[in-house]
């Protein structure tokens, strides 16, 4: 049986809706996680007391925690503690908490490798710390961290089906439902696979584009 026989237009539409959910939730998680990871890495890098012990602990625990378990913990434990949240919020919080930890590690590695002489000369010119970070360090650190950050984005995307456990219908869940209805799991699964591959491809293209953009930026200045 061909794909067209087994799946109706409504099935394809539900896969498309699942795609929107997957992309929206993953991008929300990334939009929170990339800057939050940077903030934590900067706090670590400046050796802020107390936080320099808490942040590595957070990173270590989250690195070891499956997204499924984290999702269940947030979705069920927060309401039990009196904080009412819906599945969508819980999903975004789960993905953000997860990816923040991995991004923190990536940013931290980028900051450690940053040449000290540039910072010292910037200080000699009387630049303030926020100014040094924003104008001197970030433009360069972003470039070195970009491949690892994009890699982490694709990992988050591949982990995102975990949020199905709190009842969200993403691409994977939509494909499973169609498979269960048509008794033909293979066609929707192949379409879902193509969708994930397509999203990963877009991420990788975006990385190339950003790299070209930052190089052009440098050439102009």
- Number of H helices and E strands in the chain, helices first, is 10, 0
Euclidean distance between CA atoms 70 and 211, whole angstroms: 33
Residue 158 makes contact with another protein by CB under 8 A: yes
Q: Which is nearer to another protein, 77 or 112 (CB)?
A: 77
- Which one of residues 24, 119, 200, 204 is an interface residue with another protein (CB under 8 A)? 200
The yes or no reply on residue 68 touching another protein (CB under 8 A) is: yes
* Nearest-angstrom CA–CA distance, 27 and 33: 9
Q: Which of 52, 63, 131, 205 binds another protein (CB under 8 A)?
A: 63
Candidates 7, 146, 160, 166; binder of another protein (CB under 8 A) is 160
How far is Cα 124 from Cα 119, in angstroms, rounded to an integer? 9
Q: Tokens standing for 150? A: 């994009």
Closest approach of another protein to the CB of residue 210, in Å = 21
Distance from C-alpha of 190 to C-alpha of 78, rounded to nearest angstrom: 36
Tell me the CA end-to-end span of the chain in Å, nearest whole number: 59
CB of 100 to another protein, least distance (A): 16
The DSSP letter of residue 46 is T
Nearest approach, Cβ of residue 111 and another protein (Å): 22
The least distance separating another protein from the CB of residue 171, rounded to whole angstroms, comes to: 8
By CB atoms closer than 10 A (0-12, 13-18, 19+), residue 119 is middle
Dihedral of the alpha carbons of 150, 107, 40, 217, in degrees to the nearest 10: -80
User: Which positions from 71 through 110 interact with another protein, judged by CB under 8 A?
Assistant: 72-73, 76-77, 80-81
Of 48, 112, 197, 215, the one binding another protein (CB under 8 A) is 197
Stretch that binds another protein, among 40-48, 125-133, 190-198, 213-221 (CB under 8 A): 190-198
Exactly one of 164, 168, 174, 178 binds another protein (CB under 8 A); which one?
164
If you ran DSSP here, which 8-state letter would residue 115 be given?
-
Residues that bind another protein (CB under 8 A): 60-61, 63-70, 72-73, 76-77, 80-81, 157-162, 164-165, 172, 175-176, 179-180, 183-186, 189, 192-193, 196-197, 200
């Amino acid at each position: 049986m061909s794909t067209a026989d087994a799946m109706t237009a409504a099935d394809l539409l539900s896969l498309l809706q699942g795609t929107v959910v997957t992309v929206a939730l993953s991008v929300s998680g990334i939009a929170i996680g990339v800057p939050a990871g940077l903030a934590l890495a900067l706090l670590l890098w400046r050796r802020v007391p107390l936080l320099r012990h808490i942040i590595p602990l957070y990173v270590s625990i989250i690195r070891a925690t499956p997204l499924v378990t984290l999702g269940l913990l947030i979705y069920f434990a927060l309401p039990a503690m009196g904080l009412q949240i819906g599945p969508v919020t819980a999903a975004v919080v789960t993905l953000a908490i997860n990816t923040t930890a991995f991004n923190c590690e990536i940013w931290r590695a980028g900051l450690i490798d940053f040449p000290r002489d540039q910072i010292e000369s910037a200080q000699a010119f009387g630049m303030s710390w926020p100014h040094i970070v924003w104008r001197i360090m970030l433009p360069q650190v972003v470039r070195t961290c970009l491949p690892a950050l994009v890699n982490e984005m694709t990992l988050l995307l591949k982990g995102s089906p975990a949020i199905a456990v709190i009842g969200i219908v993403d691409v994977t869940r939509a494909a499973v439902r169609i498979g269960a209805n048509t008794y033909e799991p293979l066609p929707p699964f192949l379409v879902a696979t193509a969708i994930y591959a397509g999203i990963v491809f877009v991420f990788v293209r975006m990385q190339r584009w950003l790299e070209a953009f930052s190089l052009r930026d440098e050439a102009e200045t």
